[in-house]
Amino acid sequence: MFAARLGYLRYCHRRPPPPLPHPPRPPAQRDHAPPPIAPAPHGAYAGTETCLKCHEDQGPALTKGAHSRGFRAGSPVAQFGCQKCHADTKANLGCESCHGPGKAHVDADGDKTKIKSIKAMSAQDANAVCASCHFRTKHALWAGSQHDQRNVSCVSCHSVHSPKGDKQLKAASEMELCAGCHRAIVNKQFKFNHMTVREGKLSCSNCHNVHGTTNVKLLKVGGNVAESCVSCHVEKRGPMLWEHAPVTESCTTCHDPHGSNNIRMLVAKEPFLCQRCHVTSRHPPTIYEGFMLNNSTNADKIFGRSCAGCHQQIHGSNAPSGKAFLR
């Protein structure tokens, strides 16, 4: 009777649910456009048509891409972006919006020192060119992000002239692109249980904002891993009357979100996973290892057994008598 009453009191005085996670707001200074670019001298622009006379191989991809659609005269980007800084309308037509005025380059018979080469720039300078337009929303926190600190530039992943995938990516898919650096993580996609990225049902950007966030591990949602996971696995969201510490701290204590050869993407098999924390309990009195596994009395408690077979509410329980997560 006393235990039931105590459980009821715990239930009535449990903590209120946390607010729903939301993307972090970018700093106030990021809500404003970068300083206007000083207009080039009149007549300094050659025009895209002139550029394509020599760079004809860049024409098909450029005319079909998102940048070309934005630079067309009359488009919102051209009207409210480029033309605000460039009085010469030739600057709005594509190539010279990124590479700068090109007339001197043309007059010098293609002297490469007379034109901006994005590939030859440092990562910081190349990113500054892209940031002159892409400075809002998901790109607002690029400066100081993990990729920025490692001198990753926009052109490391994106190609304006010859993209192979969506979002001007250099690879056919996000998984293939990310594998260029994060090979060990992407290789987990080939384990027995894995996130459905390889099948195309999810992508890396479903969980991560590669352009920068205020969250750990570039996560799009939540201040920790657990908050990110429960944005989809809402049935695991707390608070619970009886909470399991690993669930509230980090789901990666027990699960590998990228892939595992164990069921439910566990980092180790049961009961060995549970025995990492529960070294001693009423059953078993001590961890099973070494000579104890060779003991026929203990062997039947290990093989073919799972802690979750009894402790089914391992992520937390709201039952007054659910302290052991049995119900």
Please, which residues have CB within 8 angstroms of residue 98's CB and are 6 or more apart in sequence?
116, 118, 129, 160
Tokens 């892409």 appear where? 134
The CA distance from 129 to 91, in Å, is: 14
Which residues in the chain show pLDDT less than 70? 1-43, 63-66, 68-93, 280-305
Q: What is the pLDDT of residue 308?
A: 83
**Which one, of 323, 326, 321, lies nearest residue 307 by Cα?**
326
The sign one gets for the Cα dihedral 283, 288, 292, 297 is positive
pLDDT in tens, 236-275: 888 889 999 888 888 999 999 999 999 999 999 887 888 8
**Which one, of 90, 210, 95, 204, lies nearest residue 158 by Cα?**
210
Cα torsion at 140, 165, 231, 258 (round to 10°)? -110
pTM check: above 0.75:
no
**Which one, of 204, 205, 200, 228, lies nearest residue 216 by Cα?**
228
What's the residue count for the chain? 327
Mean pLDDT of all residues belonging to the chain = 77
Please, which residues have CB within 8 angstroms of residue 231's CB and are 6 or more apart in sequence?
21, 221, 222
One-letter amino acid for residue 151 of the chain: N
